[in-house]
C-alpha cells in the first residue's frame, strides 16, 4: 500500500511538468475509455424511451398533433420541478464548462455531471429543439475532470484532461475522432501545443473505439460522394457563406437577447419554451429532437423548397430562444440542422434560377452544415474536419473551405461577434480568453519549478547547528514556529554572514539576526504557475511555500523562477 502511494505521488509530481508525455498519454486513455462508456449510457438513455414510445428515436413526425404539442410542455414541467428541487441543476452546460476552466482550473463538481445527464436526457426525450452534442461535451469534460480530482492531480493536467474529455465526447457522438481533437484544441483549450495533442488524440480514439464496440460504427450521415460541378459555382458558394454567416449572427443575437430574461422564474421560462416548441411542432414536427433524420433528407435532396423555408424559419427562431431561456441541452446539432437547411435551399434555388448547372442539393446542404458550425462556434478548422469526416468526401474540402471562411468573416467582421459560448460568458460578465502569458504558465504546475533544497529548523538554534546548516548549503531556511504564527523563510546567506562574525551569542535566534525574511504563504503543488503568479501579485510577495496534498512543505517557488521559466522555456 505504501509503495502504491509513493508511485501515485511520483505520478502526480511528474505531471506538474509540462512535458510529462507518458503520464499524459495514460490520462488520455483513462479519459477516453471513461467518456466513451458515459457516451454510450447517455445515448441509450435518450434513445430507448423514444424507441419504446414511437418506434424510432427520431420519428416525432409520426406522433398525433396533441402529443406534439403536449410532449415539450411535459418535459418543461419535469425540468422545472428538477430545477426547483435541485438548485445545483442549473450549474451545467457549455457556458458553465468554460467558466470552470477560466476561474476554477477545470474542477467540475460531480453533481454537475449528474445534473447535465438527467436534464439533457429529459429535454431531448421530450422533443425540445436542441442537440445532444453540447451535453455530451460537458459530460465528457466533467467525467475527465472528476478522474483528475479523484487522483488529486495538478491543475495543469486537470485542464488538459477537460480537453481530452471534450475531444472524446465529440469523437463518440459523431464517430469523428479527428474533429474531436481539433474541436478540443480550437474551442475548449483555445491553444495548439505538440504536447497537448498526443493525450487528446489518445482520448478521442479510445472513446471512438468504445462507442464502435458497443453500438457499432454506422456513419451518422450516409450520403453519396457529391462534388462541385464547375468553378463557375464558386460565387454561389460564397453567397451561401454570406447567408450562413448572417443566420449565425441572428442565432447569436436571439440567444443573447433571450438571456436577458434569465432572472425570471425558472418555471415561467421553461413553460414558455415548452409552449413555443409544441406550437411550432404542430406545423413542423421535424424541428423536435436532434433532427438527424431531417438533415439526412436534406443531404439527399428529399425536402421541397417550401418545407425547407418553413423549417429554417422555425428552427432558427426557436432553438436560440429556448436555449436562452435555459433549456439544458446543446446547440451544435441545431447549427448543423440550420446549415443543412440553408444549403438545401441554395441547391434548390440554384437549380431554378441559375444558368449554370448547379451541383446536387446535397452538396450545398453539406457546405451549409460546415459553414454554420464554423460561424456559430468560431471554429473553422474543427468544422472543416468534421465536415470531411462526417461525409467521407474529400471533394468537399475546396468548396467547404470557401463557405467556411466566408461565413466566419461575415459573423466576425460584419457583425463583430465572437463564438456563441464567449458571447454567453460575456453576457454574464465573465471572460474566457487568456493572455499568452497566462496560457503558457497554465501548462505547468508549481511542483515542476519549486526549489526543493531547504532545511527546516527551529527559530533558536546552537552555534554548532548553525555552522552545520551553513556547511550543507541549502537554498532556503524554513524557520518553523510551534504555533505556526511566526514561521518565516530566509536565505542561508544571511545566517552565513552572521556566523562569520566575531563574539556572537550562543544560542542564535534566527528571527532576531539581521536578515531578509519572508512570510510563509502556502500554495498547493497542484496549482499552476499562473495561479502562483496571480497569488504573488495579489499579496505583493515574491515567494510562496509549496505544500503537498497532506499540507507538508515540499519546496519554495519565487517570482524570478516563474519569470525565467516564461522567458527561457522551450515551447512544446
As given in the structure block, the three cell numbers for residue 44 are: 441509450
CB neighbours of 553 closer than 8 A, spacing ≥ 6? 454, 456, 478, 545, 546, 547
56-68: average pLDDT: 88
Is the pLDDT at 6 greater than 60? The verdict is no
Give the H/E segment covering residue 253.
helix 234-258
| CB of 245 closer than 8 Å to CB of 72 | no
Domains of the chain, residue spans: 2-222, 231-427, 440-568
Is the pLDDT at 205 greater than 50? The verdict is yes
Candidate from 72-86, 277-291, 487-501, 537-551 with smallest mean pLDDT: 487-501
What letter would DSSP give residue 358? P
Residue 102 class from Cβ within 10 Å (0-12 exposed, 13-18 middle, 19+ buried)? middle
Quick: pLDDT tens for 402-455. 999 999 999 999 999 988 888 888 877 776 666 677 778 888 889 888 999 998
What is the β-pairing status of strands 553-558 and 454-458? unpaired
Whole-number Å distance between alpha carbons of 173 and 136: 7
Quick: pLDDT tens for 308-334. 999 999 999 999 999 999 999 889 999
Per-residue burial over 116-137, b if 16 or more Cβ lie within 10 Å, else e, is: bbbbbbbbbbbbbbbbbbbbbb
Per-residue H/E/C for 367-420 = HHHHHHHHHHHCCHHHHHHHHHHHHCCHHHHHHHHHHHHHHHHHHHHHCCCCCH
158-179: average pLDDT: 92
Quick: pLDDT tens for 211-228. 999 988 777 777 777 777
Candidate from 26-35, 93-102, 188-197, 375-384 with smallest mean pLDDT: 188-197
Return the bridge partners of 455, or none: 477
Q: Is the dihedral of CA 200, 206, 211, 212 positive or negative?
A: positive
What pLDDT shows up at residue 355?
58
Which is higher by pLDDT, 436 or 480? 480
pLDDT averaged over the chain? 88
Quick: pLDDT tens for 114-151. 999 999 999 999 999 999 888 999 999 999 999 999 99
Is the pLDDT at 186 greater than 70? The verdict is yes
Candidate from 86-100, 191-205, 267-281, 344-358 with smallest mean pLDDT: 344-358
What pLDDT shows up at residue 2?
43
Return the bridge partners of 476, or none: 454
Whole-number Å distance between alpha carbons of 104 and 68: 41
Going by pLDDT thresholds of 50, 70 and 90, the confidence category of residue 559 is very high
Is the pLDDT at 357 greater than 70? The verdict is no
CB neighbours of 55 closer than 8 A, spacing ≥ 6? 62
354-360: average pLDDT: 64
As given in the structure block, the three cell numbers for residue 261 are: 430574461
Whole-number Å distance between alpha carbons of 489 and 519: 7
Is the pLDDT at 512 greater than 70? The verdict is yes
What is the β-pairing status of strands 543-547 and 553-558? antiparallel
What pLDDT shows up at residue 434?
62
Q: What is the DSSP track for 329-353?
A: SBSHHHHHHHHHHHHHHHHHHHHHH
90-106: average pLDDT: 87
Most confident region among 2-11, 503-512, 520-529 by mean pLDDT: 520-529
Is the pLDDT at 519 greater than 60? The verdict is yes
CATH number for 231-427 (one of 1.10.10.10, 1.10.3080.10, 3.40.1670.10, 3.30.565.10): it is 1.10.3080.10
Q: How many CB atoms lie within 10 A of CB 151?
A: 16
49-73: average pLDDT: 89
CATH topology of domain 2-222: Clc chloride channel (1.10.3080)
What pLDDT shows up at residue 255?
94
531-542: average pLDDT: 92
As given in the structure block, the three cell numbers for residue 37 are: 462508456
Is the pLDDT at 509 greater than 60? The verdict is yes
Domains 2-222 and 440-568 share a fold: no
What pLDDT shows up at residue 1?
43
Grid cell 421535424 is found at: 286
Which is higher by pLDDT, 507 or 434? 507
Percent of the chain scoring above 70 in pLDDT: 95
Return the CATH class of domain 440-568: alpha beta
| CB of 504 closer than 8 Å to CB of 498 | yes
Whole-number Å distance between alpha carbons of 549 and 557: 17
Quick: pLDDT tens for 246-276. 999 999 999 999 988 888 999 999 999 999 9
Amino acid at each position: 500500500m505504501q509503495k502504491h502511494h509513493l508511485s501515485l505521488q511520483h505520478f502526480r509530481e511528474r505531471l506538474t511538468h509540462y512535458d510529462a508525455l507518458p503520464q499524459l498519454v495514460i490520462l488520455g486513455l483513462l479519459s477516453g475509455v471513461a467518456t466513451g462508456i458515459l457516451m454510450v449510457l447517455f445515448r441509450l438513455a435518450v434513445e430507448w424511451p423514444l424507441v419504446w414510445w414511437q418506434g424510432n428515436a427520431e420519428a416525432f413526425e409520426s406522433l398525433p398533433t396533441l402529443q406534439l404539442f403536449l410532449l415539450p410542455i411535459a418535459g418543461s414541467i419535469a425540468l422545472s420541478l428538477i430545477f426547483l428541487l435541485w438548485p445545483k441543476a442549473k450549474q451545467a452546460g457549455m457556458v458553465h464548462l468554460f467558466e470552470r476552466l477560466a476561474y476554477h482550473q477545470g474542477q467540475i463538481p460531480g453533481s454537475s455531471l449528474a445534473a447535465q445527464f438527467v436534464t439533457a436526457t429529459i429535454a431531448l426525450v421530450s422533443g425540445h429543439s436542441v442537440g445532444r452534442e453540447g451535453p455530451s461535451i460537458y459530460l465528457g469534460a466533467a467525467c475527465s475532470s472528476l478522474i483528475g480530482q479523484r487522483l488529486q492531480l495538478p491543475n495543469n493536467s486537470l485542464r488538459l484532461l477537460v480537453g481530452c474529455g471534450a475531444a472524446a465526447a465529440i469523437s463518440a457522438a459523431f464517430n469523428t475522432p479527428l474533429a474531436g481533437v481539433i474541436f478540443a484544441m480550437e474551442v475548449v483549450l483555445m491553444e495548439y501545443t505538440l504536447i497537448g495533442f498526443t493525450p487528446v488524440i489518445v482520448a478521442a480514439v479510445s472513446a471512438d473505439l468504445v462507442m464502435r464496440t458497443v453500438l457499432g460504427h454506422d456513419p451518422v450521415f450516409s450520403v453519396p460522394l457529391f462534388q462541385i460541378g464547375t468553378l463557375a459555382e464558386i460565387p454561389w458558394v460564397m453567397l451561401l457563406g454570406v447567408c450562413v454567416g448572417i443566420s449565425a449572427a441572428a442565432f447569436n443575437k436571439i440567444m443573447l437577447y433571450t438571456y436577458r430574461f434569465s432572472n425570471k422564474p425558472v418555471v415561467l421560462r421553461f413553460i414558455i419554451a415548452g409552449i413555443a416548441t409544441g406550437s411550432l411542432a404542430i406545423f413542423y414536427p421535424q424541428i423536435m429532437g436532434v433532427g438527424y433524420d431531417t438533415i439526412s433528407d436534406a443531404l439527399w435532396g428529399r425536402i421541397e423548397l417550401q418545407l425547407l423555408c418553413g423549417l429554417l424559419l422555425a428552427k432558427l427562431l426557436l432553438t436560440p430562444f429556448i436555449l436562452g431561456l435555459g433549456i439544458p441541452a446543446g446547440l451544435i446539432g441545431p447549427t448543423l440542422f440550420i446549415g443543412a437547411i440553408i444549403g438545401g435551399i441554395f441547391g434548390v434555388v440554384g437549380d431554378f434560377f441559375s444558368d449554370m448547372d448547379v451541383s446536387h442539393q446535397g452538396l450545398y446542404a453539406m457546405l451549409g452544415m460546415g459553414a454554420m458550425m464554423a460561424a456559430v462556434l468560431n471554429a473553422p478548422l474543427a468544422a472543416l474536419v468534421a465536415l470531411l469526416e462526417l461525409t467521407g468526401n474529400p471533394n468537399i474540402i475546396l468548396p467547404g473551405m470557401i463557405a467556411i471562411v466566408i461565413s466566419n468573416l461575415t459573423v466576425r467582421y460584419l457583425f463583430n461577434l465572437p463564438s456563441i459560448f464567449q458571447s454567453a460568458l460575456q453576457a454574464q460578465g465573465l471572460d474566457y480568453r487568456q493572455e499568452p502569458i497566462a496560457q503558457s504558465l497554465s501548462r505547468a504546475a508549481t511542483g515542476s519549478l519549486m526549489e526543493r533544497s531547504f532545511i527546516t529548523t527551529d527559530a533558536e538554534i546552537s552555534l554548532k547547528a548553525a555552522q552545520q546548516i551553513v556547511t550543507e548549503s541549502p537554498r532556503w531556511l524554513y524557520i518553523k514556529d510551534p504555533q505556526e504564527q511566526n514561521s518565516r523563510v530566509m536565505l542561508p546567506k544571511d545566517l552565513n554572514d552572521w556566523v562569520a562574525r566575531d563574539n556572537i551569542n550562543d544560542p542564535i535566534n534566527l528571527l532576531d539576526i539581521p536578515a531578509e525574511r519572508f512570510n510563509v504563504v502556502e500554495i498547493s503543488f497542484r496549482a499552476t504557475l499562473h495561479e502562483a503568479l496571480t497569488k504573488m501579485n495579489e499579496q505583493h510577495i515574491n515567494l510562496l511555500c509549496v505544500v503537498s496534498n497532506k499540507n507538508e512543505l515540499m519546496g519554495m517557488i519565487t517570482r524570478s523562477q516563474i519569470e525565467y521559466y516564461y522567458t527561457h522555456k522551450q515551447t512544446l
